[in-house]
Amino acid sequence: MAATKQRIHPTLIPILESVSDPEIPVLSIMDMGVVRSACLEDDLVKIEITPTYSGCPAMDVIGDDIKAAFKKAGYTAHVDLILAPAWTTDWITPRGRKALEDYGIAAPLNEEADKDVLLHGKRLVTCPQCGSKNTKMVSQFGSTACKAQFQCDDCQEPFDYFKCLK
């Protein structure tokens, strides 16, 4: 979809990739899909980011971290928070999904599977610790707004599942 396409100046990408989500430090804000545009006008950088959830307390920190990273690289960054189009878990990159799994957070399934898991208790989420699908939901709400709490019935480990948001 054209409306959801990011407009990012290529020279800015490495700097943006150096900024990570403070709550999921293995995930860069680029892999998270929250950077919607970044343009360069002389040494002024204009960046638009969008929140994952409305109340995500990480957004203020991300804004400050972006400004600090660009300052270090010799730019002045201006960061705007935009709401439309609304963020979806589809914008997490394949590399981001891999980083989530490696970190111990199960990456979001598709919308239908997510409903089956959260509403009907189907066992479709793979445990990021042992790879078993014998997992169950403990609570729809987890340690942050974007996650649900799960437990693996094979290795018994609790883990977070990143909820599908569309």
Partner 1 sequence: MKDNLYSYILGIADNSLILGQRMGALTGHGPSLEIDIACTNISLDLFGQVRSYYQYAAKIAADGRTEDDIAMLRQEREYLNVLLVEQPDTDFAYTMARQFLFDVYHFLFLTELQKSTDLTLAAIAKKSIKEVSYHKRFSSDWIKRMGDGTPESHQRMQTAINDLWTYTDELFHQTEADKAMVVEGVGVDVSKLKEAYYNQISETLETATLQVPESKYFQKGGKQGIHTEHMGYILAELQYMQRAYPNMEW
Q: Which member of 113, 118, 124, 130 binds partner 1 (CB under 8 A)?
A: 118
Q: State yes or no: residue 158 binds partner 1 (CB under 8 A).
A: no
Q: State yes or no: residue 136 binds partner 1 (CB under 8 A).
A: no
CA distance 49 to 30: 10
Q: Which member of 7, 14, 68, 85 binds partner 1 (CB under 8 A)?
A: 85
Closest approach of partner 1 to the CB of residue 165, in Å: 6
Q: Which member of 9, 26, 53, 63 binds partner 1 (CB under 8 A)?
A: 53
Number of residues counted as binding partner 1 (CB under 8 A): 24
DSSP state of 52: S
Q: Which member of 72, 95, 98, 166 binds partner 1 (CB under 8 A)?
A: 166
DSSP state of 136: E
Q: State yes or no: residue 13 binds partner 1 (CB under 8 A).
A: no
Contacts 24+ apart (CB under 8 A), 48-54: 48/79, 48/80, 48/81, 48/82, 49/79, 49/80, 49/81, 49/82, 50/81, 50/82, 50/83, 50/85, 50/86, 50/87, 51/81, 51/83, 51/87, 52/87, 52/145, 52/146, 52/165, 53/145, 53/146, 53/165
Q: State yes or no: residue 6 binds partner 1 (CB under 8 A).
A: no
Q: State yes or no: residue 120 binds partner 1 (CB under 8 A).
A: no
Closest approach of partner 1 to the CB of residue 54, in Å: 3
Q: State yes or no: residue 54 binds partner 1 (CB under 8 A).
A: yes
Contact between residue 7 and residue 39 where contact means Cβ atoms under 8 Å apart: yes
For residue 161, the cross-strand partners are 106, 148
Q: Which residues bind partner 1 (CB under 8 A)?
A: 51, 53-57, 83-87, 118-119, 138-143, 145, 149, 163, 165-166
